[in-house]
Structure formats: C-alpha cells, structure tokens
Amino acid sequence: MPPLPPEARARLDAFLGRIEEVSHTLVGYPCSQDFNYPELAPFLRYPLNNCGDPFADSIYRENSFPFEREVIATFQKHLRAPLDQTWGYVTSGGTEGNLYGLYLARELYPEGVVYYSEHTHYSAAKIVRVLDARSIMIRGQDNGEIDYDDLRETLRLHRDVPPIIFANIGTTMHGAVDDLRKIRAMLKELAISRAYIHADAALSGMILPWVERPQPFGFDAGIDSIAVSGHKFVGSPVPCGVVLARRAHTERVARSVEYVGVMDTTILGSRSALGPLVLWSAFQRWGEDGMRRRVAACLDMADYAIARFEAAGIPSWRHENSITVVFPRPADEVIRRWQIAPHEQIAHLITMPHVTRDTIDRVIADVVASRLPVPSGP
C-alpha cells in the first residue's frame, strides 16, 4: 500500500494525542484500560473473518475459530453453563448479545411478551422494536432492581402469554442485580411453565464469577441465555462480547449457508475475528487467579471511593459485588471533565482496573468544588 500523506499522518498523530489525554479522565463508563496486546498487531495485515458457527469448518480459512471456541469454553465454565447443553459465540458487544437472546426467545414464543425494568439498558427498548416484539416495561426500585411486586402483578394479568423476562445482572446506572431466585419462584407460584429468561450481564458477568459470595447469575440459576461484554471488565481495544444460550434454543434458528460451507446460528454474517483473539489473549495473561485479584482490587477501590465521598460529606453507595459507586449528580463541567455518566439526579463512577486512588481523589475534589457556592462580586 502507498504510505499515508503527511497531512493524514499528522491528523492521526493529533488524534492519538487527544485520546491519550482524555484516557486519564475515564471514570464513568465501564471500559477497562489496563491492557496491551502487541502480539496481535501482525494480524491486522490479514482479512480475518469469523463467518458463521465457530464450531463448524468453514471454507473461508482466514478465521480465528479455534480461539473463539476456547473463549466460549472459558465463559461457559465461569457462567456455569453445561458444555453439552449450551452454545455461544463472540459478539460485537452487549447489545448484539441481548438481541440474540431476545431473538431466540421470540422464535421460541412468537406470541410472548418481553418484560424489562425501567432501569434496563437502553438497548432493550431498541431491540423489541427491531424484533417487533410485544413488551411491557416494569417499574424499577430506587436501588436499581426490578420492582418484583409490579412484575408479579403484571405476570398474573397476562398468565396466558409466555413471558420473556429480560433480567439485569448489574444495571447500567446502579450496578443492581435482579434476584433470579425471586423471579423463578414467581413463575412457579403463578404456574407459568412456558417462560424464557435472558440475563444482561454486560459488566457483572465477568465480576461475579470471581467473588466468594456472588448473587445468582448463571445458568445454574435458571436462565436461558446471557450476554457479557468483553471490552468492559476483561478489556479490549475493540468492542466485543460473548453470548451463551441453551443449545436447544439455538438449533431452532440454525441455517445452512452453502457460500461459506457452514451452519449460521449467529446474528451477523461476517464477524470480527480479532475479538476472540483479544479475549483469548486476556485470559492467557491473567488466568483465573489474576482475574480474581483484579476484581478484588476494583472492589477495594470502590470502598475507597465511598470512604472519600463520606469524608467529603457526600452520600454514596454501591451494591454488593459491584464496582459502580452511585452519588448525587455533580455539575455539568465535572461530568464533562471526568466522563461521568449521569441519569436524572444521580451519577456514578466505576472503579475499573485503571482507576487509581489519585484519580478518585481528584474527581471528588472537583465534585466538592462544584457544590460550593459561587462567591458574589464586590
């Protein structure tokens, strides 16, 4: 290829400088930055493409299927998914995983109704529109969990229709985990035998496997599918994720594609082959003990943030096993400076692995300064 013109090179250099500068202020969004994958750079020279089922043998050979299969096995182990009863693939991120789970549910129960909390990620409302699926939004509690009384009453009123429940395993703003035991007990009490539960575990799906006393979150808790992001806690330069589902459901949507010689049970046709390489490399580097230490350090950092907020007279809190620290919404200039995610009267910072004590101290100092009355002129 011809070299970049000097003006284009200069533009990229300027862009890199800006990204390096703002990277030090990322505290409100769950994207890890403690990674580096130099060994993967040579693969950018090839048109790697994971098209179709990663467990098939495609005619198109420039793929990373063997690595994708190992990644899936790793997630199956830690999300408590029986190997012989579940299937999965590496996605472009949490939204595709959520779309896949609800797509399977809609194919299983075409007349079903999707129930999701008002605290659910915004992708849920978008997905039900894409699928043209019936849906009902359930009230949420102040702590971010779904309102179980509202869910139960709504299910009772629509007992004749299979429910498709979109459960949150770590809500976007609060880090709240919906109680899967309560939901399963509710279905049993109402004698609802045809139901589907999809779990959105974008961030917490790679936190809960590494703590001593996790809330129920995996397939052993009765879910039918789960979506986890790879660029959140694991860390990736490109958005990616993993979706797992019960094999019996995925087989309903499988289609043979002669063009590439595989069955396709995925949403996308062409898929990134770099995502599986990134996730595989991350687990090779960290290992289980490394991931466990990483989670523990992030939880300790969240407690440090709460203690610093308390010392500054600012209320803050987090859920058990969550690294999302919720506090009152600060001034707009603080939100912009620190890339803090706000929602109505609250905001949060997330103690991802790259967030240090010094960073937290500076954030809280700015929050405190923004709350002080502005001196009047002479």
Q: Return the pLDDT at 104.
A: 95
Strand, helix or coil for residue 128: helix
**Residues 123, 249: Cα–Cα separation, whole Å:** 22
Write the CA distances from 237 to 38, 202, 348, 378, integer angstroms. 11, 16, 23, 52
Q: Return the pLDDT at 264.
A: 72
Q: Return the pLDDT at 68.
A: 98
Q: What is the pTM of this model?
A: 0.93
Sorted by where each starts, the structural domains of the chain and their CATH numbers stand as 6-35+287-371 (3.90.1150.10), 39-283 (3.40.640.10)
The catalytic residue positions are 322
* Strand pairing category for 341-343 and 346-350: antiparallel
Q: What is the pLDDT along the chain (378 residues), one digit of tens a residue?
A: 899 999 999 999 999 999 999 999 999 999 999 999 999 999 999 999 998 889 988 888 999 999 999 999 999 999 999 999 999 999 999 999 999 999 999 999 999 999 999 999 989 999 999 999 999 999 999 999 999 999 999 999 999 999 999 999 999 999 999 999 999 999 999 999 999 999 999 999 999 999 999 999 999 999 999 999 999 999 999 999 999 999 999 887 766 454 444 567 888 878 999 999 999 999 999 999 999 999 999 999 999 999 999 999 999 999 999 999 999 999 999 999 999 999 999 999 999 999 999 999 999 999 999 886 555 555
**Residues 146, 141: Cα–Cα separation, whole Å:** 6
**Residues 370, 378: Cα–Cα separation, whole Å:** 21
**Residues 258, 277: Cα–Cα separation, whole Å:** 26
Q: Which residues contact 320 (CB under 8 A, 6 or more apart)?
A: 213, 215
**Residues 91, 68: Cα–Cα separation, whole Å:** 10
Closest by CA to 161, choosing from 137, 184, 136, is 136
Q: Where are the alpha helices (DSSP H) in 109-241?
A: 123-131, 148-157, 180-189
Closest by CA to 179, choosing from 88, 117, 260, 132, is 117
* Strand pairing category for 262-264 and 346-350: unpaired
Q: Return the pLDDT at 274.
A: 97
Q: Return the pLDDT at 258.
A: 44
Strand, helix or coil for residue 104: helix
**Residues 196, 183: Cα–Cα separation, whole Å:** 11
The DSSP result for 334-349, as a single string, is HHHHHT-EEETTEEEE
**Residues 362, 56: Cα–Cα separation, whole Å:** 51
